[in-house]
Chains A and B, each alone.
Chain A
Amino acid sequence: MNIIGQRKIYLTISAIIVVVGLFLVFNFGFKEGIDFKGGTLWQIKLDESTTTAEVEELFTTQISEAGEIKVNTDITNDAFLIRFQPISEPDHQKFLSVIKAKYPTATELSFQSIGPSIGAQLKKNAMIAVLLAIIAVSLYIAFAFRKVSRPISSWKYGIVTMATLLHDIVVPAGLIAYLGSTAHGAEIDSNFVVALLVIMGFSVHDTIVVFDRIRENLLHQRGKTEFGETINQSVNQTMARSINTSLTLIIVLLVMFFAGPVNLKYFILTLLVGVATGVYSSIFVASPLLLVWQRFSERKTTPK
């Protein structure tokens, strides 16, 4: 495949994807889960015929102390997910008895109440983790490519890897922001941040395989072949392994998505979309970007 020759098409596709992703993120914003902003998440199984509206009505009429509530259905467990402000244990028991009075068969599947201070702390930790991971990974890449500095310097591999990484993160982030605005009510929480970090790890993993081949080919050819040609060869040589290494992971993720525990659904979905984007970017984005940059700096230096 002449990926480098058609780089404009691929890079344009990527640019559109990134713009759409960013638009979704900024337009819809993220719904923060209770572990970031504090709050209560209650998973209760009621009579089969109960509707969301009935649950909402029960809360507004008889459990008004809960304040503003949001009710979602959890189809797989045939249960309701009710979200509201953090409450104390006595209130929890009081609410439960009101619910049990109306629905004697009600069973509580899970109950989680997080104070706002813990939420703020978890959020801060998550942000530090993301920043640190980005810094550590980019330092590592610059180190890994320190031996190759022609025709472009090793730190540029690092920057391109970072750009690819951000590309891979924007897509699932946009999707989750969009899903958060719909009835699915997807939220960002610690799991979401973990998923992003894992995507980062894989994105770098994939990009490194291609760059590693470019590194090897460059050392072999010692400038005899044109840089663009070397890149194109390298991408084609490594394409099967780029796809296959991610494919095995995607197989496992798909199984987890369809057969795995429901609580991990959005976590797995985020990973799936991120890993899939990573396959595309390691082949069609990372290497073309290298060439674009090299051409750009050449044009700047040669006329003088």
Chain B
Amino acid sequence: MRRHPGLFLTIILSITILAGVFIYPKGFGLSTSPWRLGLDLVGGSHLIYKVDLSKVSSADHASVLNGLRDVIENRVNLFGVSEPQVYLSKGSDGNNLVVELAGIKKIEDAIKMIGETPLLEFKEVEENGSSTEFITPMFPIDGVPTALTGRHVKSAQVTFDPNTNKPQVSLEFNDEGAQIFELLTEANVGKVVAIFLDGVLIEAPVVQTKISGGQAVISGNFNIQTAKQLVERFNAGALPAPVTLINQQTISATLGADSLHKALMAGLIGTLLVMIFMVLYYRYLGIFAAIALVIYVSLTLGIFKLFSITMTLAGLAGFILTIGMAVDANILIFERVKEEIKRGLSRANAIEEGFKRAWPSIRDSNISTIITALVLYFLTSSFVKGFAITLLMGVAVSMFSAITTTRLLLKTFVKDIHQAK
């Protein structure tokens, strides 16, 4: 880099321009590739569920948790949310499942859908004097409590009653479910078996004959809409372990958009003011710092987008802070340069000396910020993590931009550097 500052500078500038096109393609008349924006900027819901594994043997924990995640992912996908995030996280008091839904309108429906296991119950009817009472039969098979639930449904589909042409739901049970169903129908030939869904009576048909093979039809009083909904819920699967919603954060799209707009404005104004300050205070040196700052902003945002780092409000705040810090190294160097010029060095030599002498304090002072960012990253929750990542990357890139870029700029444009050598 010492020999060909112009060449390296050209490379950096080209990358910067590419990064600029990449982060804001619209401005260059190109099609937009989307940023990954956090829920607090686009609106949406961040839900944390506590998973109750008390009824699962510890050997099965991992598979149950993964199964749970898959089932909930299926359910969430039914909502057609763009890029829903469903992931497991370990809390101090057990296992949590985090669901992030961006840009969803009817969050209450989603919450209802996620937490519910469609509970299908077949109840026998007991004559009790003149009144009838429904009781849930329990047929123990392999020690598992066998009230038939949505867990036993292998697949479900909407069919139509050939006689009335009304929509109905056909169920196919898995082996365990088929056995239970067979025993249930066998014990109740000629009697009424009531079908409950989520505690609501759907229908109470009289069992004609023992049904084996695990096929059942619920004819109920469905319209196509409700039949379809039920089928979706069955097919999405039942939850292998119960979950409780313990944390909810929902941000409306308007508030998110407002936050995004304000943060971007603040970032823009902040950058401009810092540039103006640098030029006013450090004159010609400041111009180079200002150019380096633009390069910094462009490169850093390019990196965020390239690695699809989700930009949250906290992350944006962290990035904007680094704009104020990015010129720190320049200030340390320029102050040093001023001192060296006072000491009688030529401008070019003073610049060389300034870079060399300021390095230890730039390194030491940035390391303390890096330590803080690392601690934040590893020890905190997802919202703060966004802040830590942008702060960390910002500090790293700013050292590059303030030192390497500024140095190349100065070498290329302050001509007497070469002569002084």
A residues adjacent to B (C-beta < 8 A): 43, 77, 88-89, 92-93, 107-115, 117-118, 121-122, 124-126, 128-129, 132-133, 136-137, 140-141, 144, 190-191, 194, 197-198, 200-202, 204-206, 208-209, 212-213, 216, 237-238, 240-241, 244-245, 247-253, 255-256, 259-264, 267-268, 271
Query: Given contacts A208-B361, A259-B269, is CB(A191)–CB(B380) below 8 Å?
Result: no
| A136 touching B365, Cβ below 8 Å | no
Residues in B with CB closer than 8 Å to A141 are 368
CA distance A296 to B113 in the complex (A): 69
Minimal beta-carbon separation of A92 from chain B (angstroms): 8
Minimum CB distance partner of A110 in chain B: B251
| B328 touching A245, Cβ below 8 Å | yes
Minimal beta-carbon separation of B37 from chain A (angstroms): 14
| A89 touching B108, Cβ below 8 Å | yes
| B324 touching A115, Cβ below 8 Å | no
Minimal beta-carbon separation of B52 from chain A (angstroms): 13
Residues in A with CB closer than 8 Å to B274 are 248, 251-252
CA distance A251 to B335 in the complex (A): 19
Task: Show 9 residue pairs from A and B whose CB-CB distance is below 8 angstroms, ordered by the A residue.
Answer: A112-B248, A114-B246, A133-B372, A140-B368, A190-B383, A209-B365, A252-B270, A256-B270, A259-B265
| B262 touching A200, Cβ below 8 Å | no
Residues in A with CB closer than 8 Å to B277 are 247-248, 251
Minimal beta-carbon separation of A208 from chain B (angstroms): 5
Would you call B104 an interface residue if the criterion is a C-beta within 8 Å of the partner chain's C-beta atoms? no
Minimal beta-carbon separation of A8 from chain B (angstroms): 28
Looking at B327, B376, B381, which has the most chain A CB atoms within 10 Å of its CB? Answer: B376
| B368 touching A208, Cβ below 8 Å | yes
| A252 touching B255, Cβ below 8 Å | no
| A240 touching B112, Cβ below 8 Å | no
Q: Which 3 A-B pairs have the closest CB atoms?
A: A252-B324, A249-B324, A115-B246
Would you call B92 an interface residue if the criterion is a C-beta within 8 Å of the partner chain's C-beta atoms? yes
Residues in A with CB closer than 8 Å to B91 are 117-118, 121
Minimum CB distance partner of A41 in chain B: B249
Query: Given contacts A129-B380, A252-B324, is CB(A261)–CB(B335) below 8 Å?
Result: no
| B364 touching A208, Cβ below 8 Å | yes
Would you call B120 an interface residue if the criterion is a C-beta within 8 Å of the partner chain's C-beta atoms? no
Minimal beta-carbon separation of A264 from chain B (angstroms): 6
| B371 touching A137, Cβ below 8 Å | yes
| A251 touching B371, Cβ below 8 Å | no
Would you call B294 an interface residue if the criterion is a C-beta within 8 Å of the partner chain's C-beta atoms? no
Query: Given contacts A77-B255, A245-B332, A248-B274, is CB(A194)–CB(B313) below 8 Å?
Result: no
Other-chain contact of B262, A128, A205, A240, A261 (Cβ < 8 Å): A261
Would you call B320 an interface residue if the criterion is a C-beta within 8 Å of the partner chain's C-beta atoms? yes
| A109 touching B255, Cβ below 8 Å | yes
CA distance A274 to B339 in the complex (A): 29
Minimal beta-carbon separation of B272 from chain A (angstroms): 9
User: Which B residues from 240 to 284 make CB contacts under 8 A with A?
Assistant: 245-252, 254-255, 258-259, 262-263, 265-266, 269-270, 273-274, 277-278, 281
Query: Given contacts A125-B381, A259-B262, is CB(A136)–CB(B371) below 8 Å?
Result: yes
| A112 touching B250, Cβ below 8 Å | yes
CA distance A253 to B321 in the complex (A): 7
| B249 touching A111, Cβ below 8 Å | yes
| B247 touching A209, Cβ below 8 Å | no
Residues in A with CB closer than 8 Å to B384 are 190-191, 194
Residues in B with CB closer than 8 Å to A241 are 331-332, 335
| B379 touching A132, Cβ below 8 Å | yes
Query: Given contacts A190-B381, A205-B365, is CB(A113)–CB(B247) below 8 Å?
Result: yes
| B366 touching A255, Cβ below 8 Å | no
CA distance A252 to B267 in the complex (A): 8
B residues adjacent to A (C-beta < 8 A): 40, 48, 50, 91-93, 108, 111-112, 115, 245-252, 254-255, 258-259, 262-263, 265-266, 269-270, 273-274, 277-278, 281, 313-314, 317, 320-321, 323-325, 327-328, 331-332, 335, 339, 357, 360-361, 364-369, 371-373, 375-376, 379-381, 383-384, 387, 391
| A118 touching B48, Cβ below 8 Å | yes
CA distance A240 to B266 in the complex (A): 26
| B252 touching A245, Cβ below 8 Å | no
CA distance A132 to B321 in the complex (A): 22
Residues in A with CB closer than 8 Å to B48 are 118
Minimum CB distance partner of B391 in chain A: A198
CA distance A247 to B277 in the complex (A): 9
Residues in A with CB closer than 8 Å to B246 are 114-115, 117-118
Looking at A136, A198, A259, A261, which has the most chain B CB atoms within 10 Å of its CB? Answer: A261
Residues in B with CB closer than 8 Å to A43 are 255
Other-chain contact of B332, A89, A209, A251 (Cβ < 8 Å): A209
| A261 touching B328, Cβ below 8 Å | no
Residues in A with CB closer than 8 Å to B247 are 113-115, 118
Known pairs A201-B368, A205-B368 / 6 extra A-B pairs, C-beta < 8 Å: A108-B250, A121-B92, A133-B376, A198-B321, A201-B373, A209-B365
CA distance A216 to B332 in the complex (A): 15
Minimum CB distance partner of B357 in chain A: A216
Minimal beta-carbon separation of B261 from chain A (angstroms): 9
Minimum CB distance partner of B112 in chain A: A89
Residues in B with CB closer than 8 Å to A256 are 266, 270, 317, 320
Residues in A with CB closer than 8 Å to B387 are 194
Residues in A with CB closer than 8 Å to B255 are 43, 77, 109-110
Residues in B with CB closer than 8 Å to A77 are 255, 258
Residues in B with CB closer than 8 Å to A255 are 266, 269-270, 273
Minimal beta-carbon separation of A187 from chain B (angstroms): 15
Minimal beta-carbon separation of A159 from chain B (angstroms): 15
Minimum CB distance partner of A87 in chain B: B248
CA distance A113 to B266 in the complex (A): 29
CA distance A200 to B40 in the complex (A): 27
Minimal beta-carbon separation of B108 from chain A (angstroms): 5
| A109 touching B252, Cβ below 8 Å | yes
CA distance A303 to B277 in the complex (A): 53
Residues in B with CB closer than 8 Å to A252 are 266, 270, 273-274, 320-321, 323-324
Minimal beta-carbon separation of B59 from chain A (angstroms): 26
Minimal beta-carbon separation of A274 from chain B (angstroms): 12
Residues in B with CB closer than 8 Å to A111 are 248-250
